[in-house]
A and B are shown apart, each in its own frame.
Chain A
Amino acid sequence: MKRAASQLLLLVAKDLRIEARGRQTVGLLVVLGLLIVAVLGLGLGGTAAAGFGAPVVLWVAYLFAGVLCFEKTMAVERSDGALAGLMIAPMDRGTIYVAKLLSNLTLMAAVALVITPAGVIFFSFDLSAAPGTFVLVMALGIVGFAAIGTLFAALVSSTRLQGGLLAMMAFPVALPLVIASTQMLIHRFRDGQPIEGGALGILVAFDAIFLTVSWLAFEWVLEP
Protein backbone atom coordinates (compact mmCIF):
# COMPACT_ATOMS: atom_id res chain seq x y z
CA MET A 1 0.00 0.00 0.00
CA LYS A 2 2.74 2.40 0.97
CA ARG A 3 4.70 1.32 -2.07
CA ALA A 4 1.74 2.13 -4.28
CA ALA A 5 1.39 5.56 -2.72
CA SER A 6 5.00 6.48 -3.30
CA GLN A 7 4.84 5.18 -6.87
CA LEU A 8 1.72 7.29 -7.34
CA LEU A 9 3.52 10.41 -6.18
CA LEU A 10 6.43 9.57 -8.43
CA LEU A 11 4.17 9.30 -11.47
CA VAL A 12 2.20 12.46 -10.78
CA ALA A 13 5.40 14.42 -10.08
CA LYS A 14 6.79 13.17 -13.37
CA ASP A 15 3.66 14.24 -15.29
CA LEU A 16 3.56 17.67 -13.72
CA ARG A 17 7.25 18.21 -14.27
CA ILE A 18 6.83 17.41 -17.95
CA GLU A 19 3.87 19.74 -18.24
CA ALA A 20 5.73 22.50 -16.45
CA ARG A 21 8.63 22.15 -18.83
CA GLY A 22 7.24 24.31 -21.54
CA ARG A 23 4.63 22.01 -23.03
CA GLN A 24 2.23 24.89 -22.91
CA THR A 25 -0.67 22.60 -22.17
CA VAL A 26 -2.25 24.68 -19.46
CA GLY A 27 -1.87 27.88 -21.45
CA LEU A 28 -3.51 26.38 -24.49
CA LEU A 29 -6.40 24.97 -22.52
CA VAL A 30 -7.01 28.23 -20.70
CA VAL A 31 -7.09 30.20 -23.92
CA LEU A 32 -9.38 27.66 -25.54
CA GLY A 33 -11.71 27.75 -22.55
CA LEU A 34 -11.80 31.53 -22.54
CA LEU A 35 -12.58 31.60 -26.24
CA ILE A 36 -15.47 29.18 -25.83
CA VAL A 37 -16.93 31.20 -22.98
CA ALA A 38 -16.47 34.43 -24.92
CA VAL A 39 -18.05 33.11 -28.12
CA LEU A 40 -21.06 31.73 -26.29
CA GLY A 41 -21.35 34.91 -24.26
CA LEU A 42 -21.37 36.99 -27.41
CA GLY A 43 -23.88 34.73 -29.06
CA LEU A 44 -26.30 34.60 -26.19
CA GLY A 45 -26.27 38.33 -25.64
CA GLY A 46 -26.85 39.97 -22.30
CA THR A 47 -30.32 38.80 -21.33
CA ALA A 48 -31.11 38.02 -17.72
CA ALA A 49 -31.97 34.46 -18.64
CA ALA A 50 -28.55 34.07 -20.22
CA GLY A 51 -27.06 34.76 -16.81
CA PHE A 52 -28.15 31.34 -15.70
CA GLY A 53 -26.61 29.86 -18.78
CA ALA A 54 -23.21 30.22 -17.12
CA PRO A 55 -23.06 26.67 -15.74
CA VAL A 56 -23.81 25.13 -19.12
CA VAL A 57 -21.37 27.41 -20.92
CA LEU A 58 -18.70 26.51 -18.42
CA TRP A 59 -19.48 22.85 -18.97
CA VAL A 60 -18.99 23.23 -22.70
CA ALA A 61 -15.62 24.83 -22.04
CA TYR A 62 -14.66 22.08 -19.57
CA LEU A 63 -15.72 19.34 -21.96
CA PHE A 64 -13.61 20.58 -24.85
CA ALA A 65 -10.65 21.64 -22.75
CA GLY A 66 -10.86 18.40 -20.79
CA VAL A 67 -10.75 16.18 -23.83
CA LEU A 68 -7.67 18.00 -25.11
CA CYS A 69 -6.05 17.76 -21.70
CA PHE A 70 -6.62 14.02 -21.43
CA GLU A 71 -5.32 13.44 -24.93
CA LYS A 72 -2.17 15.39 -24.27
CA THR A 73 -1.27 13.73 -20.99
CA MET A 74 -1.74 10.32 -22.54
CA ALA A 75 0.23 11.26 -25.66
CA VAL A 76 3.26 11.76 -23.42
CA GLU A 77 3.15 8.07 -22.58
CA ARG A 78 2.57 6.87 -26.10
CA SER A 79 5.12 8.94 -27.97
CA ASP A 80 8.19 6.83 -27.22
CA GLY A 81 6.55 3.80 -25.75
CA ALA A 82 7.00 5.06 -22.20
CA LEU A 83 3.75 3.44 -21.17
CA ALA A 84 5.30 0.06 -21.94
CA GLY A 85 8.11 1.01 -19.58
CA LEU A 86 5.55 1.63 -16.85
CA MET A 87 3.75 -1.61 -17.57
CA ILE A 88 6.83 -3.75 -17.09
CA ALA A 89 7.69 -2.02 -13.84
CA PRO A 90 6.63 -3.81 -10.67
CA MET A 91 3.49 -1.79 -10.05
CA ASP A 92 -0.26 -2.21 -10.26
CA ARG A 93 -1.64 -0.98 -13.54
CA GLY A 94 -4.44 0.60 -11.57
CA THR A 95 -1.84 2.89 -10.02
CA ILE A 96 -1.04 4.18 -13.49
CA TYR A 97 -4.71 5.12 -13.83
CA VAL A 98 -4.90 6.96 -10.53
CA ALA A 99 -1.71 8.83 -11.30
CA LYS A 100 -2.95 9.93 -14.72
CA LEU A 101 -6.26 10.93 -13.19
CA LEU A 102 -4.60 13.06 -10.54
CA SER A 103 -2.38 14.70 -13.14
CA ASN A 104 -5.42 15.44 -15.29
CA LEU A 105 -7.35 16.82 -12.34
CA THR A 106 -4.47 19.07 -11.38
CA LEU A 107 -4.32 20.51 -14.88
CA MET A 108 -8.10 20.86 -15.09
CA ALA A 109 -8.15 22.61 -11.73
CA ALA A 110 -5.62 25.12 -13.01
CA VAL A 111 -7.72 25.71 -16.10
CA ALA A 112 -10.98 25.93 -14.14
CA LEU A 113 -9.44 28.48 -11.83
CA VAL A 114 -9.18 30.86 -14.76
CA ILE A 115 -12.18 30.19 -16.93
CA THR A 116 -14.76 29.77 -14.16
CA PRO A 117 -14.41 33.34 -12.91
CA ALA A 118 -14.42 34.47 -16.54
CA GLY A 119 -17.68 32.65 -17.17
CA VAL A 120 -19.26 33.93 -14.00
CA ILE A 121 -18.30 37.48 -14.85
CA PHE A 122 -19.24 37.41 -18.55
CA PHE A 123 -22.66 36.07 -17.68
CA SER A 124 -23.17 38.16 -14.55
CA PHE A 125 -23.91 35.01 -12.61
CA ASP A 126 -24.39 36.02 -9.00
CA LEU A 127 -22.66 33.45 -6.82
CA SER A 128 -23.05 35.25 -3.51
CA ALA A 129 -25.98 33.12 -2.39
CA ALA A 130 -23.99 29.90 -2.23
CA PRO A 131 -20.47 30.01 -3.63
CA GLY A 132 -19.47 26.82 -1.83
CA THR A 133 -22.27 24.91 -3.48
CA PHE A 134 -21.22 26.14 -6.87
CA VAL A 135 -17.62 25.05 -6.40
CA LEU A 136 -18.62 21.68 -4.98
CA VAL A 137 -21.00 20.90 -7.79
CA MET A 138 -18.58 21.88 -10.54
CA ALA A 139 -15.77 19.99 -8.81
CA LEU A 140 -17.80 16.79 -8.57
CA GLY A 141 -18.65 17.16 -12.23
CA ILE A 142 -15.06 17.63 -13.35
CA VAL A 143 -13.91 14.68 -11.26
CA GLY A 144 -16.51 12.45 -12.89
CA PHE A 145 -15.64 13.65 -16.36
CA ALA A 146 -11.93 13.12 -15.75
CA ALA A 147 -12.65 9.64 -14.40
CA ILE A 148 -14.01 8.37 -17.69
CA GLY A 149 -11.96 10.73 -19.83
CA THR A 150 -8.68 9.36 -18.48
CA LEU A 151 -9.76 5.79 -19.22
CA PHE A 152 -11.07 6.57 -22.69
CA ALA A 153 -7.94 8.54 -23.55
CA ALA A 154 -5.82 5.54 -22.66
CA LEU A 155 -7.98 3.25 -24.80
CA VAL A 156 -8.12 5.58 -27.76
CA SER A 157 -4.45 6.44 -27.74
CA SER A 158 -3.42 2.84 -28.24
CA THR A 159 -4.46 2.73 -31.84
CA ARG A 160 -3.84 4.82 -34.89
CA LEU A 161 -7.13 6.66 -34.77
CA GLN A 162 -8.66 9.83 -36.02
CA GLY A 163 -9.07 12.75 -33.70
CA GLY A 164 -12.45 13.45 -32.17
CA LEU A 165 -12.89 9.86 -31.06
CA LEU A 166 -12.24 10.70 -27.44
CA ALA A 167 -14.76 13.55 -27.49
CA MET A 168 -17.29 11.31 -29.19
CA MET A 169 -16.96 8.70 -26.46
CA ALA A 170 -16.74 10.97 -23.45
CA PHE A 171 -19.46 13.53 -24.16
CA PRO A 172 -22.57 11.34 -24.14
CA VAL A 173 -21.41 9.37 -21.11
CA ALA A 174 -20.82 12.63 -19.24
CA LEU A 175 -24.28 14.03 -19.96
CA PRO A 176 -25.79 13.01 -16.60
CA LEU A 177 -23.12 15.15 -14.96
CA VAL A 178 -23.99 18.13 -17.11
CA ILE A 179 -27.73 17.76 -16.62
CA ALA A 180 -27.61 17.11 -12.88
CA SER A 181 -25.21 19.94 -12.11
CA THR A 182 -26.90 22.56 -14.27
CA GLN A 183 -30.38 21.67 -13.01
CA MET A 184 -29.17 21.79 -9.44
CA LEU A 185 -27.46 25.13 -9.89
CA ILE A 186 -30.40 26.70 -11.70
CA HIS A 187 -32.77 25.63 -8.96
CA ARG A 188 -30.43 26.92 -6.31
CA PHE A 189 -29.54 30.27 -7.81
CA ARG A 190 -32.50 31.24 -9.93
CA ASP A 191 -35.30 29.73 -7.90
CA GLY A 192 -33.67 29.93 -4.47
CA GLN A 193 -34.52 26.35 -3.65
CA PRO A 194 -32.30 24.30 -1.36
CA ILE A 195 -29.93 21.74 -2.86
CA GLU A 196 -31.70 18.65 -4.08
CA GLY A 197 -30.40 15.42 -2.67
CA GLY A 198 -31.33 13.59 -5.84
CA ALA A 199 -29.18 15.64 -8.16
CA LEU A 200 -26.27 15.60 -5.75
CA GLY A 201 -26.71 11.85 -5.42
CA ILE A 202 -26.39 11.47 -9.18
CA LEU A 203 -23.09 13.33 -9.20
CA VAL A 204 -21.67 11.34 -6.32
CA ALA A 205 -22.92 8.03 -7.73
CA PHE A 206 -21.44 8.82 -11.14
CA ASP A 207 -18.06 9.62 -9.62
CA ALA A 208 -18.02 6.55 -7.38
CA ILE A 209 -19.14 4.11 -10.08
CA PHE A 210 -16.89 5.31 -12.84
CA LEU A 211 -13.80 5.83 -10.74
CA THR A 212 -14.11 2.20 -9.72
CA VAL A 213 -14.90 0.87 -13.18
CA SER A 214 -12.07 2.82 -14.81
CA TRP A 215 -9.58 1.67 -12.21
CA LEU A 216 -10.63 -1.92 -12.80
CA ALA A 217 -10.39 -1.48 -16.55
CA PHE A 218 -6.79 -0.33 -16.21
CA GLU A 219 -5.95 -3.31 -14.03
CA TRP A 220 -7.38 -5.81 -16.44
CA VAL A 221 -7.63 -4.42 -19.92
CA LEU A 222 -4.87 -1.90 -20.59
CA GLU A 223 -2.83 -2.69 -23.70
CA PRO A 224 0.73 -1.55 -24.32
Chain B
Amino acid sequence: MGARTVKALQANFIRGFWLLVALLFVADLALLKTYTPTERTMGPIQMIFYLHLPVAINTFLACLTAFIASLFYLWQRSAWWDDLASAAARVAVQLCAVVLATGMAWGRGAWGVWWTWSPRLTFSLILFLLYVVYLVLRSSIEGRQRRAAIAAIYCVIAFLDVPLVWLSARLIPDIHPGSIGLEPTMKLTLAAWFVPVTLMTIGLVIARFMLNQRETQAARLAGGMP
Protein backbone atom coordinates (compact mmCIF):
# COMPACT_ATOMS: atom_id res chain seq x y z
CA MET B 1 0.00 0.00 0.00
CA GLY B 2 1.28 3.41 -0.91
CA ALA B 3 1.87 6.11 1.66
CA ARG B 4 -0.99 8.12 0.29
CA THR B 5 -3.43 5.27 0.77
CA VAL B 6 -2.30 4.82 4.34
CA LYS B 7 -2.77 8.53 5.00
CA ALA B 8 -6.23 8.49 3.47
CA LEU B 9 -7.17 5.47 5.56
CA GLN B 10 -5.90 7.19 8.67
CA ALA B 11 -7.93 10.32 7.95
CA ASN B 12 -11.03 8.25 7.36
CA PHE B 13 -10.50 6.30 10.53
CA ILE B 14 -10.20 9.50 12.50
CA ARG B 15 -13.35 10.90 10.96
CA GLY B 16 -15.20 7.69 11.65
CA PHE B 17 -13.97 7.64 15.20
CA TRP B 18 -15.21 11.10 16.06
CA LEU B 19 -18.48 10.45 14.26
CA LEU B 20 -18.98 7.40 16.45
CA VAL B 21 -18.24 9.40 19.60
CA ALA B 22 -20.72 12.09 18.57
CA LEU B 23 -23.38 9.51 17.81
CA LEU B 24 -22.88 7.84 21.18
CA PHE B 25 -23.30 11.20 22.94
CA VAL B 26 -26.53 11.83 21.04
CA ALA B 27 -27.74 8.34 21.89
CA ASP B 28 -26.93 8.93 25.54
CA LEU B 29 -28.81 12.20 25.57
CA ALA B 30 -31.80 10.39 24.13
CA LEU B 31 -31.40 7.81 26.86
CA LEU B 32 -31.62 10.55 29.47
CA LYS B 33 -34.82 11.90 28.02
CA THR B 34 -36.62 8.61 27.64
CA TYR B 35 -35.27 5.85 29.79
CA THR B 36 -33.59 7.34 32.85
CA PRO B 37 -35.80 8.31 35.77
CA THR B 38 -35.42 11.72 37.38
CA GLU B 39 -33.86 11.72 40.81
CA ARG B 40 -36.30 12.53 43.57
CA THR B 41 -34.62 15.10 45.76
CA MET B 42 -32.61 17.15 43.31
CA GLY B 43 -34.68 17.19 40.19
CA PRO B 44 -33.57 17.27 36.58
CA ILE B 45 -30.26 19.05 37.25
CA GLN B 46 -29.03 15.83 38.79
CA MET B 47 -28.71 14.48 35.27
CA ILE B 48 -25.55 16.43 34.87
CA PHE B 49 -24.06 13.79 37.13
CA TYR B 50 -24.01 11.34 34.23
CA LEU B 51 -21.54 13.57 32.48
CA HIS B 52 -19.74 14.76 35.59
CA LEU B 53 -18.67 11.41 36.99
CA PRO B 54 -17.28 9.82 33.80
CA VAL B 55 -15.37 13.01 33.03
CA ALA B 56 -14.01 13.09 36.58
CA ILE B 57 -12.78 9.52 36.36
CA ASN B 58 -11.19 10.20 33.00
CA THR B 59 -9.49 13.28 34.39
CA PHE B 60 -7.87 11.09 36.96
CA LEU B 61 -6.84 8.58 34.30
CA ALA B 62 -5.30 11.37 32.24
CA CYS B 63 -3.37 12.56 35.30
CA LEU B 64 -2.20 9.00 35.91
CA THR B 65 -1.05 8.73 32.30
CA ALA B 66 0.90 11.96 32.62
CA PHE B 67 2.48 10.66 35.83
CA ILE B 68 3.61 7.38 34.33
CA ALA B 69 4.85 9.10 31.19
CA SER B 70 6.82 11.57 33.31
CA LEU B 71 8.45 8.76 35.26
CA PHE B 72 9.39 7.01 32.05
CA TYR B 73 10.80 10.25 30.69
CA LEU B 74 13.01 10.68 33.72
CA TRP B 75 14.24 7.14 33.27
CA GLN B 76 14.58 6.96 29.47
CA ARG B 77 14.99 10.63 28.54
CA SER B 78 13.15 10.08 25.31
CA ALA B 79 11.03 12.86 23.82
CA TRP B 80 8.28 10.32 23.15
CA TRP B 81 7.43 10.14 26.86
CA ASP B 82 7.64 13.88 27.26
CA ASP B 83 5.18 14.39 24.40
CA LEU B 84 2.80 11.88 25.95
CA ALA B 85 2.98 13.46 29.40
CA SER B 86 2.36 16.88 27.95
CA ALA B 87 -0.62 15.67 25.91
CA ALA B 88 -2.18 13.81 28.84
CA ALA B 89 -1.76 16.74 31.21
CA ARG B 90 -3.32 19.12 28.71
CA VAL B 91 -6.35 16.91 28.29
CA ALA B 92 -6.54 16.52 32.07
CA VAL B 93 -6.83 20.30 32.42
CA GLN B 94 -9.56 20.44 29.77
CA LEU B 95 -11.52 17.63 31.39
CA CYS B 96 -11.04 19.10 34.85
CA ALA B 97 -12.53 22.36 33.61
CA VAL B 98 -15.60 20.39 32.58
CA VAL B 99 -15.69 18.69 35.98
CA LEU B 100 -15.60 22.07 37.68
CA ALA B 101 -18.23 23.54 35.39
CA THR B 102 -20.61 20.60 35.76
CA GLY B 103 -19.98 20.47 39.50
CA MET B 104 -20.81 24.13 39.86
CA ALA B 105 -23.87 23.85 37.64
CA TRP B 106 -25.07 20.92 39.70
CA GLY B 107 -24.59 22.88 42.88
CA ARG B 108 -26.38 25.87 41.45
CA GLY B 109 -29.29 23.78 40.29
CA ALA B 110 -29.60 21.65 43.39
CA TRP B 111 -28.77 24.09 46.17
CA GLY B 112 -28.86 27.52 44.59
CA VAL B 113 -25.20 28.50 44.97
CA TRP B 114 -22.45 28.58 42.35
CA TRP B 115 -19.75 27.65 44.80
CA THR B 116 -19.28 25.90 48.10
CA TRP B 117 -16.05 24.77 49.65
CA SER B 118 -17.26 21.21 49.66
CA PRO B 119 -14.67 18.45 49.51
CA ARG B 120 -15.51 17.54 45.91
CA LEU B 121 -15.46 21.03 44.47
CA THR B 122 -12.37 21.98 46.45
CA PHE B 123 -10.59 18.88 45.24
CA SER B 124 -11.53 19.59 41.63
CA LEU B 125 -10.33 23.14 41.92
CA ILE B 126 -6.96 22.23 43.38
CA LEU B 127 -6.47 19.47 40.81
CA PHE B 128 -7.23 21.97 38.09
CA LEU B 129 -4.71 24.43 39.51
CA LEU B 130 -2.03 21.77 39.89
CA TYR B 131 -2.15 20.85 36.23
CA VAL B 132 -2.66 24.35 34.90
CA VAL B 133 0.61 25.16 36.64
CA TYR B 134 2.18 22.27 34.72
CA LEU B 135 1.09 23.81 31.43
CA VAL B 136 2.28 27.30 32.36
CA LEU B 137 5.58 25.83 33.53
CA ARG B 138 6.10 24.17 30.17
CA SER B 139 5.45 27.35 28.27
CA SER B 140 7.83 29.30 30.50
CA ILE B 141 10.93 27.20 29.95
CA GLU B 142 13.04 27.21 26.83
CA GLY B 143 15.29 24.36 25.91
CA ARG B 144 13.56 21.07 25.34
CA GLN B 145 15.59 18.89 27.67
CA ARG B 146 15.46 21.30 30.57
CA ARG B 147 11.76 21.91 30.08
CA ALA B 148 11.00 18.20 29.87
CA ALA B 149 13.01 17.35 32.96
CA ILE B 150 11.56 20.10 35.14
CA ALA B 151 8.02 19.45 33.91
CA ALA B 152 8.43 15.74 34.55
CA ILE B 153 9.56 16.23 38.15
CA TYR B 154 6.73 18.64 38.78
CA CYS B 155 4.22 16.24 37.24
CA VAL B 156 5.43 13.39 39.45
CA ILE B 157 5.15 15.55 42.54
CA ALA B 158 1.75 16.91 41.56
CA PHE B 159 0.36 13.42 41.09
CA LEU B 160 1.77 12.19 44.39
CA ASP B 161 0.08 15.21 45.92
CA VAL B 162 -3.34 14.26 44.55
CA PRO B 163 -4.25 11.68 47.23
CA LEU B 164 -3.10 14.13 49.89
CA VAL B 165 -5.29 16.84 48.36
CA TRP B 166 -8.20 14.42 48.32
CA LEU B 167 -7.72 13.46 51.96
CA SER B 168 -7.26 17.01 53.16
CA ALA B 169 -10.28 18.23 51.18
CA ARG B 170 -12.33 15.63 52.99
CA LEU B 171 -11.46 17.33 56.27
CA ILE B 172 -13.49 20.34 55.20
CA PRO B 173 -17.01 20.18 56.61
CA ASP B 174 -19.48 19.33 53.87
CA ILE B 175 -22.86 20.99 54.18
CA HIS B 176 -24.22 19.34 51.08
CA PRO B 177 -23.32 15.69 51.30
CA GLY B 178 -23.98 14.38 47.85
CA SER B 179 -24.04 10.66 47.80
CA ILE B 180 -26.71 9.39 45.53
CA GLY B 181 -28.39 6.06 45.74
CA LEU B 182 -28.37 4.57 42.27
CA GLU B 183 -31.19 2.48 40.90
CA PRO B 184 -30.34 -0.13 38.26
CA THR B 185 -31.60 2.09 35.44
CA MET B 186 -29.35 4.87 36.61
CA LYS B 187 -26.36 2.57 36.76
CA LEU B 188 -26.99 1.51 33.21
CA THR B 189 -27.21 5.12 32.08
CA LEU B 190 -23.97 5.86 33.83
CA ALA B 191 -22.27 2.98 32.09
CA ALA B 192 -23.65 4.20 28.78
CA TRP B 193 -22.18 7.65 29.36
CA PHE B 194 -18.80 6.25 30.27
CA VAL B 195 -18.25 4.88 26.80
CA PRO B 196 -18.23 8.06 24.68
CA VAL B 197 -16.49 10.08 27.39
CA THR B 198 -13.67 7.57 27.67
CA LEU B 199 -13.35 7.24 23.92
CA MET B 200 -13.27 11.00 23.61
CA THR B 201 -10.52 11.25 26.23
CA ILE B 202 -8.39 8.67 24.51
CA GLY B 203 -8.95 10.40 21.18
CA LEU B 204 -8.01 13.80 22.56
CA VAL B 205 -4.84 12.50 24.17
CA ILE B 206 -3.72 10.71 21.04
CA ALA B 207 -4.52 13.69 18.84
CA ARG B 208 -2.53 16.03 21.06
CA PHE B 209 0.27 13.49 21.34
CA MET B 210 0.62 13.30 17.58
CA LEU B 211 0.73 17.06 17.37
CA ASN B 212 3.47 17.16 19.99
CA GLN B 213 5.41 14.49 18.13
CA ARG B 214 5.25 16.47 14.90
CA GLU B 215 6.53 19.57 16.68
CA THR B 216 9.35 17.63 18.30
CA GLN B 217 10.37 16.15 14.94
CA ALA B 218 10.31 19.56 13.33
CA ALA B 219 12.51 20.98 16.07
CA ARG B 220 14.91 18.10 15.71
CA LEU B 221 15.22 18.56 11.97
CA ALA B 222 15.75 22.26 12.36
CA GLY B 223 18.45 21.73 14.96
CA GLY B 224 20.29 18.95 13.18
CA MET B 225 21.23 21.03 10.21
CA PRO B 226 24.72 22.47 10.32
Interface positions of A (Cβ within 8 A of B) = 148, 151-152, 155-156, 158-162, 165, 168-169, 172-173, 175-176, 179-180, 183-184, 196, 198-199, 202, 205-206, 209-210, 213, 217, 220-221, 223
Given contact pairs A168-B133, A172-B126, A161 touches B140 in the complex (Cβ within 8 A): yes
Interface centre among A151, A172, A223, by most chain B C-beta atoms within 10 angstroms, is A172
12 contacts between A and B (CB under 8 A): A152-B154, A159-B150, A176-B161, A176-B165, A176-B168, A180-B167, A202-B171, A206-B164, A209-B164, A210-B157, A217-B153, A221-B153
Cβ-based interface call for B211 (8 A): no
Contact (Cβ within 8 A) A199 B171: yes
Contact (Cβ within 8 A) A159 B146: yes
Inter-chain CA distance A169–B129, complex, in Å, is: 10
Residues of B within 8 A of A198 (CB): 167, 171
Contact (Cβ within 8 A) A172 B136: no
Contact (Cβ within 8 A) B146 A223: yes
Main secondary structure of the interface of A (DSSP, over half): helix
Return B153 CB to nearest CB of chain A, in Å: 5
Inter-chain CA distance A151–B156, complex, in Å, is: 13
Residues of B within 8 A of A152 (CB): 154
Residues of B within 8 A of A159 (CB): 141-143, 146, 150
Inter-chain CA distance A113–B141, complex, in Å, is: 36
Return A162 CB to nearest CB of chain B, in Å: 7
Contact (Cβ within 8 A) A220 B74: yes
Residues of B within 8 A of A213 (CB): 156-157, 160
Contact (Cβ within 8 A) A221 B140: no
Inter-chain CA distance A180–B168, complex, in Å, is: 5
Inter-chain CA distance A198–B169, complex, in Å, is: 12
The residues in B between 130 and 174 inclusive whose CB is less than 8 angstroms from any CB of A are 130, 133, 136-137, 140-143, 146, 149-150, 153-154, 156-158, 160-161, 164-165, 167-169, 171-172
Interface centre among A165, A179, A198, by most chain B C-beta atoms within 10 angstroms, is A179
Residue of A160, A165, A183 near B171 (CB, 8 A) is A183
Contact (Cβ within 8 A) A148 B157: yes
Return A209 CB to nearest CB of chain B, in Å: 6
Contact (Cβ within 8 A) B154 A202: no
Inter-chain CA distance A155–B141, complex, in Å, is: 11
Residues of A within 8 A of B122 (CB): 179
Residues of A within 8 A of B171 (CB): 179-180, 183-184, 196, 198-199, 202
Inter-chain CA distance A217–B133, complex, in Å, is: 19
Inter-chain CA distance A117–B171, complex, in Å, is: 26
Inter-chain CA distance A156–B122, complex, in Å, is: 28
Inter-chain CA distance A18–B165, complex, in Å, is: 37
Interface centre among A176, A205, A206, A221, by most chain B C-beta atoms within 10 angstroms, is A176
Residue of B nearest to A180 (CB): B168
Return B74 CB to nearest CB of chain A, in Å: 7
Inter-chain CA distance A109–B222, complex, in Å, is: 50
Contact (Cβ within 8 A) B141 A173: no
In the complex, besides A156-B150, A213-B157, A213-B160, 19 extra interface pairs with C-beta distance below 8 angstroms are A155-B154, A159-B141, A159-B143, A161-B140, A172-B129, A172-B133, A172-B161, A173-B157, A173-B161, A176-B161, A176-B165, A183-B168, A183-B171, A196-B171, A198-B167, A202-B168, A202-B171, A206-B164, A210-B160
Inter-chain CA distance A175–B126, complex, in Å, is: 8
Residues of A within 8 A of B146 (CB): 158-159, 223
Inter-chain CA distance A159–B150, complex, in Å, is: 10
Contact (Cβ within 8 A) A176 B164: yes
Residue of B nearest to A199 (CB): B171
Residues of B within 8 A of A151 (CB): 153, 157
Residue of A155, A172, A183, A221 near B74 (CB, 8 A) is A221
Contact (Cβ within 8 A) A165 B74: no
